[in-house]
Amino acid sequence: MQWPGPVEPRSQRNNQVWPDNVHIQAFSDDFVLVIDADTNKSLVEDTQSAITQFSSCFVSKSNIQNEEETFLDSKAIPTPHIGSLSHHPNGSVTNYTRHPTPAHAITVRSQVHINLSPKNLSPLNITDIQPQDLETKATGWSIHPSEHLEQNQISLEDGEENIVRKDIINIFTDGSKAEHGVGAAFCVLTNDIWAYQWSAKLNNNNTVFQAELTALHEAVIYASHLPNHNTSKIHVDNRASIMASSNSKSTNETARKIFKILLTNPRTAVSWVKAHAGNIGNDRADQLAKDATQHGQPYSLIKLPQLHMKGLLRKSMLEKWQTSWKNGDTGRKIYNILPSVSLRPTNCIREDVIFFSQHGPFLAYLKRFHLSDSDFCSCGGIGTALHYATECIYTVSSHMRKPAPNFEQEWMKRVANNLVSRHKIRGIIKFISERRYLFRPP
């Protein structure tokens, strides 16, 4: 607690009768209460009583400034001490004092910032996508573990033979993604008659897997509204969506919905069918899904995949990296060879980096950093990387044709992209490193 004005005379502070386990310490404009208690409960009660007594005896509550507050830190409390938070990378607790008593009274600034979760961080304005627009992973069981689908409801074997059966309503689903967008569709075949069809256009950033699950979800909803005496078989050409929908612990919300609908409709089964194998139902559903990528009704119930957000962040990162690399002041020799940044490692070894960066056992480089008295090679030429690769008498067995001065950068690019030339460069660098005495002027 902080006193708002001049400190009261010590006699006025000490006239109060305090319990034996409560001690008050006054500083220039602060008071610290040190309280000892046997249990956590007693510590909380005694502390509250002491603060109340202090407030009522010395100053009204309205005059106590809230710049600082008293925090309790007890080994009896099964939580980390406040002091440990001062070392946390995402938290800051400063200006606290610990007293060597069984229960510690710690004075801490009231404005404590502890950001332990990414949800508390300020959003970066990289995209206009809101967190609620992104697909999240479900956790745990969608139902009680004892409940499961019937054995004949899920089949990963080719179910084309069921198409000829007249007592079964056959439903075919498919999802498609093209440059025009993402589409999902299903169609219903009953007694050799196309009885119903559905299609929709998803967000252009949705995945094919989401489209497949959406088509299957709409198909099981349709099948669940059929008369109870009808048996329906849903044919899907994507095994991943079937496996996700048959798993009660699937992390996909749409797959969980499909599972619950199938659980309450045992006469509806899902079967895999081979794609692009001349199956009339699958081919029709595939065409409907492709048409839906351009002309389907908008379907906004499916959230954006996290993969899309990662792609946007990756793109933004690469753009900033490329701008920094292009406008930088250092590494210009490497920039002339590799002007574009990439997350894919470049197949370069130590000798390649030494030669193309021209930072190595070259006398011109050593002289530049005052590591050599001269930049002349013992053969009489300036000891640059290009000199050793094209004209030094000690490396003549690995020489390449020397370029004109205005074509040196282009020459470096060609050497970097030619494996035979790079092998020569590596031999030169190893030779110079092992026999430096040859290249030093006498």
Q: What is the pLDDT of residue 124?
A: 55
Query: Model pTM?
Result: 0.60
Q: What is the pLDDT of residue 297?
A: 93
Q: What is the pLDDT of residue 22?
A: 83
Q: What is the pLDDT of residue 399?
A: 95
Domains of the chain from N-terminus onward: 22-58 (no CATH), 154-304 (3.30.420.10), 347-438 (no CATH)
Q: What are the C-alpha distances in Å from 217 to residues 183, 212, 230, 276, 371?
A: 14, 9, 19, 22, 72
Q: What is the pLDDT of residue 159?
A: 67
HSE, CB side, 13 Å, CA atoms: give it for residue 62: 0
Tokens of 241: 């969506």
In sequence order, which residues have a C-beta less than 8 Å from that of residue 315 and are 6 or more positions away? Answer: none
pLDDT in tens, 411-423: 999 999 999 999 9
Question: β-strands 168-178, 181-190: how paired?
Answer: antiparallel
Q: Helix or strand or coil: residue 69?
A: strand
- 69 bridge partner residues: 108
Q: How far apart are CA 292 and CA 352, in angstroms?
A: 52
Q: What is the pLDDT of residue 54?
A: 77
pLDDT in tens, 357-402: 999 999 999 999 999 999 999 999 999 999 999 999 999 999 999 9
Q: What is the pLDDT of residue 28?
A: 57
- The overall average pLDDT reported for the chain is 82
- Which regions of the chain are under pLDDT 50? 2-14, 60-123
What is the DSSP code string of 370-405? TSSS--B-TTSSB--HHHHHHT-GGGGGG--PPPPG
The label of the residue with tokens 């609908």 reads 261
pLDDT in tens, 74-99: 444 444 444 444 444 444 444 444 44
Q: How far apart are CA 268 and CA 151, in angstroms?
A: 12
Please give the angle made by the CA atoms of 336, 340 and 343, to the nearest 5 degrees. Answer: 130
Q: How far apart are CA 290 and CA 182, in angstroms?
A: 8
Q: What is the pLDDT of residue 42?
A: 83
